[in-house]
Chains A and B, each alone.
Chain A
Amino acid sequence: MVQLKRLSIWIGYLVVMLVLPQFFDSILSVSIFNQMAIAIVFALSYNMLLGQGGMLSFGHAVYFGFGGFLAVHTLIMIEFETVYFSILFIPLIGGVFGLLAAIFIGSFSTHKAGTVFAMISLGMGELIAASSLIFVGFFGGEAGISGDRTYGPPFFGVEFLRDVEIYYVAVFWVFIATVFMYLFTQTPAGRMANAVRDNPERAEFIGYSARKVRFISFCAAGLFAGIAGGLFALNYEFITEETLNATTSGRVLLMAYIGGLGYFIGPIVGAVILTLMNSLLSNYSDLWMLYLGVMFLLTVLFLPRGFAGFIMMHQVAWVRGTIKQLALPYLLTGVPALLVMLSAIALIEMSHVEADVLQFIGFTLEPALLTDWLMVGIVGTGSLFAVRKSLPRLRDAWDSANTIPSEGGS
């Protein structure tokens, strides 16, 4: 029964990925799906370090980028007919080199977790990013290097000219990578990674070298980050230093964290949300990085277990059937909260916009008019007041929906 349920989740995951381009078939949406696919594998690999292994890395992009560079080099070799194989296997090339880089760096960085590990990861990240501008032959300097995926032998007639074809290649690898990363959590090495995260000292007293346990997780994370890098190379057909520098390392940390570190599905949620924000929001506002930062801050402060954690919080109420009691209080707090957020965004955009008028969710706002400022301000303040007013009710509803009545009947 449990197995059937689990299997149906996996099938659902695969089916959703496969049919997405049928519903959203524009060039833009397929390009977003490709980015999501890459981000999902990358964020899941990051969670093997932080969520499952307790290793805070500021340099995980190294394995992503390194895998990506080698993948592009392989594309170039295919183009010049030095090697001959289907580009379907390019992500695997990325994975192998991500793994090799992780074996090398992990051999000295996994001795300790905590601050020591974090500092080494930061240092290695900077070092590799800096050398990418020094070893121009390999990394291509600021311009990066580029290949052409269409030179490879066709795969059953598919020549990989279109992005949607790459999307199906990506789905294949995302699915395989997700399955294997999940299975890893169900093995002794995966469980011991959790144990070492919780208590490295005690792990040593049940026969395990904490260092070696970390090293294994680290290598696995490098392998899958490399696969993600290989997918990146296939999708964009070029790669630059940016893929292995601190910006990319920071972004994957945000994805995993916002999604929720404690859950296997968390990084997938985070990858989807951040990719959407990245691609859609950036069309509407050049301040989207600011909003992303605020969202990260709010997540850390109010949803320490991420979006996945927020969803899972409702498990008890769901099982008990009391979740209906939460609908109205959620609405009463949620709607004004949304208004607070929108007014805040409107104010920020008004102070930022250079044109005379600002089109904002159907409203025309003029930053030159004091009345417009006042109006937005009043809506915002009023909504904030409404949120504060309705919060106690939400809290009560939450408590009554989640408290299991004791025998004494308290």
Chain B
Amino acid sequence: MAILTLNNVQKNFGETAIIRGVSLDIEEGEKHAIIGPNGAGKSTLFHLISGLYKVSAGSITFKESEIQDKAPYEISRLGLARSFQVTNIFQRMNVFENIRCALFWSKGYRYSFWHLLGRQKELNEQAMHVLEQIGLTDKALFPSGELAYAQQRALELGIAIASGAELIMLDEPAAGMSHSEAETSVQLIHKITEGKTLIMVEHDMNIVFNVADRISVLVYGEVIATDSPENIRSNASVQEAYLGEVATSA
């Protein structure tokens, strides 16, 4: 069953069409990668699904409700979480607070000003558990803005997955990482998305073929192919449009 359905989604910025009619079904539990050359509209597509941008036409259905007109926080409450390509954390708060804030809504605290956080044992334990998952336990009280880059990326993932959302969207989780750092983050992605649905944009083909069950190729705002990694690898038009050497060497 599809957890997320895009139906002829379009996005124009002024006269320029960035997304030109994307239709896509994401099955529940699958790990789906979106690849494509720079400027293909991958991040724009993420922004449209998560509500940061409004679609120009078309519809997006998440768990049977139409979300194309909803605000990001409403979409997030439905159980769709995302990370960002450029690290997007709460810079002046410590690592633990970053994660704890990401837990509030799903734990039902809403806008409460009558719960004292020091007394919320379960919440605090949950936050420590997430820190453990992303390997930042010893940095819990460290100002997040002063973390090393790879650690900030881990925190970025942590904020996205903390709420326990069913659908997780990761925008280039390994951007700017060294080879070994990227390897660590693949393991991390496997670990934190277990039993969940994942949509991922990534340039590193090692990661894509390592993680994804299915791959969609986005070129100039259109999906030219959606298939299993093996078939994408051997698809002639994909090779021509994008993969080229990367696929053969991977």
Contact = CB atoms under 8 A, between A and B. Distances in A.
Interface residues of A, number: 28
Nearest to B107: A188
Interface in A177-228: 183-184, 186-192, 194-195, 197-199, 201-209, 212-213, 216, 220
A209 B73 contact: yes
Contacts of A190: 113
Interface residues of B, number: 37
A188 B113 contact: yes
Contacts of B110: 188
B100 A199 contact: no
A186 B111 contact: no
A362 B57 CA distance: 80
B76 A187 contact: no
A207 B105 contact: yes
A188 B109 contact: yes
Nearest to A210: B73
B111 A202 contact: no
Contacts of A191: 93, 97, 100-101, 104, 117
A208 B104 CA distance: 9
B180 interface: no
B72 interface: yes
Nearest to A184: B113
Interface of A: 183-184, 186-192, 194-195, 197-199, 201-209, 212-213, 216, 220, 262
A203 B163 CA distance: 13
B111 A188 contact: yes
B20 interface: no
Interface string B75-113: 011000110100011111100010011101110011111
A189 B101 CA distance: 10
Contacts of B109: 188
A202 B92 contact: no
A125 B5 CA distance: 49
A346 to B, nearest CB: 41
| Residue among A187, A197, A207, A212 having the largest count of chain B Cβ atoms under 10 Å | A207
A204 B113 contact: no
A207 B111 contact: no
Interface of B: 50, 52, 71-73, 76-77, 81-82, 84, 88-93, 97, 100-102, 104-106, 109-118, 159-160, 162-163
A46 to B, nearest CB: 18
A202 B73 CA distance: 9
A213 B111 contact: yes
Nearest to A215: B111
Given A198-B90, A204-B71, A206-B162, 13 more contacts: A188-B104, A188-B109, A188-B115, A188-B117, A191-B100, A191-B117, A199-B88, A199-B89, A199-B90, A202-B88, A202-B159, A206-B76, A207-B106
Given A207-B76, A207-B105, A186 B88 contact: no
Interface centre among A190, A208, A262 (most CB of B within 10 A): A208
A190 B104 CA distance: 12
Given A194-B90, A195-B101, A213-B111, A205 B72 contact: yes
Contacts of B162: 206
10 contacts: A186-B117, A187-B117, A195-B101, A197-B92, A201-B52, A202-B84, A202-B89, A206-B101, A208-B73, A216-B113
Contacts of B52: 201
B113 A195 contact: no
Nearest to B103: A206
A187 B73 contact: no
